[in-house]
Structure 1
Amino acid sequence: MARLAGIARHARPRGPMEPLETVEVTVEGGLEGDCRGRVKPGGRGRRQVSLIEAKDWAAATGEIGVHLPWWSRRANLLVEDFDLPKEPGTRIRIGDVLIEITMECDPCKRMEEIAPGLMTTLTPDWRGGALGRVIEGGTLNIGDTIGIEA
């Protein structure tokens, strides 16, 4: 069964990631306490939430022979047993939160700072994850179920 396996946030750019068990999510601010979630005036909020698949993270780090916690990717949500949609506009429900996928989360050079080769192994087939905007807020908890919303 598809489920939310991890939650993390960072209070400032390049700041440390903080793994969580639960978090409040709002349309205006994304994950509470995360620096990327707030929608700027006139903005579209296309990067409010970042998601990565557990199997993709394991494959990418395995290819370069390193073991790193998933939040090293700097993603907010780790999904398990779920293929993230690669179609912008697709909506996924995680617990009572609704997120619309907006774009691929391309790996940046920051990944090379973490481990040489990581940027390259995260590049193919949306392996670096997806970005989304919050459509309906609520509380996220590790273990929440995930599904595509029609």
Structure 2
Amino acid sequence: MMGVLLGIARHAIVKGPMEAISEAEITFAGGVAGDYRGAMKGKPYKRQVTLIERGDWVAAMAEVGHTIDWIERRSNLLVDGLDLPQVAGVRLRIGADVVLEVTRETDPCERMEALAEGLKAALLPDWRGGACAKVIAEGHIKVGDSISIEE
């Protein structure tokens, strides 16, 4: 099964605004280059890159009756056409070079409730809030790249 990378976003400072970008370097040291969260210290750091499925975000928006841009979820990568694995240890390949390993579910925080009443709860079932991952192989990604589960 193969999906497509629909969006890339990052934020340079804690609680700073998200910036949508069309391409990015993915590194061991910083996750999505220029993203505050990817450069966090600590070993092993399990939240270098966050991913969310377009369909899950759309479903959550329908549940709360809003239309809010996906970057407000504060995820780094928006994917479509691929059911993100809901188990730690599964590896995802993006484009030709980048490999990420799912580490855990991305827990929705109170910031989601500030965006829309009920959004935090709408993101809780079935990892709808997304997945956290660590970088296994560095490289360059761009919107439109393929994303698949590595066998």
**What is the TM-score when the length of structure 1 is the normalising length?**
0.97
Counterpart check, 1:49 vs 2:32: no
2:137 is the alignment partner of 1:136? yes
**Match runs of 1:84-123 below 5 Å:** 84-95=84-95, 96-123=97-124
Q: Which residue of 1 aligns with 2:67?
A: 67
1:104·1:129 contact (CA, 8 Å) conserved in 2?
A: yes
**For residue 19 of structure 1, what is the aligned residue in structure 2?**
20
Percentage of matched positions with identical amino acids: 53
Alignment: residue pair count? 149
Q: Distance in 1 between matches of 2:131 and 2:14?
A: 18
Residue 39 of structure 1 deviates from its aligned partner by 4.6
Q: Is the 8 A contact 1:23 1:140 kept in 2?
A: yes
Is residue 2:122 matched to residue 1:126? no
Aligned-partner SS, 1:37: helix
Conservation of the 8 A alpha-carbon contact between 1:38 and 1:45: no
2:117, 2:109 → 1: CA distance? 12
Distance 1:56 1:9 in 2: 20
Counterpart in 1 of 2:76?
76
Alignment check: 8 A CA contact 1:88 1:103 kept: yes
Structure 2: which 5+ runs fail to align?
none
CA distance in structure 1 between the partners assigned to 2:104 and 2:113 by the alignment:
22
The CA distance in 2 between the partners of 1:48 and 1:112, in whole Å, is: 23
Looking at structure 1, the residues matched to 106 and 129 of structure 2 have their Cα atoms a distance apart, in angstroms, of 6
SS at match of 1:103: strand
Equivalent residue letter for 2:62:
G
TM-score (norm. length: structure 2): 0.96
Cα deviation, residue 38, structure 1: 1.4
Which runs of 5 or more residues in structure 1 are unaligned?
none
- In the alignment, the residues of structure 2 paired with residue 13 and residue 38 of structure 1 have an alpha-carbon distance, to the nearest angstrom, of 11
Whole-angstrom CA distance in 1 between matches of 2:40 and 2:134: 9
Q: How far apart are the structure 1 equivalents of 2:35 and 2:6?
A: 18
Q: How far apart are 1:6 and its partner, in Å?
A: 0.4
Once superposed, what is the RMSD of the aligned Cα atoms?
A: 0.9
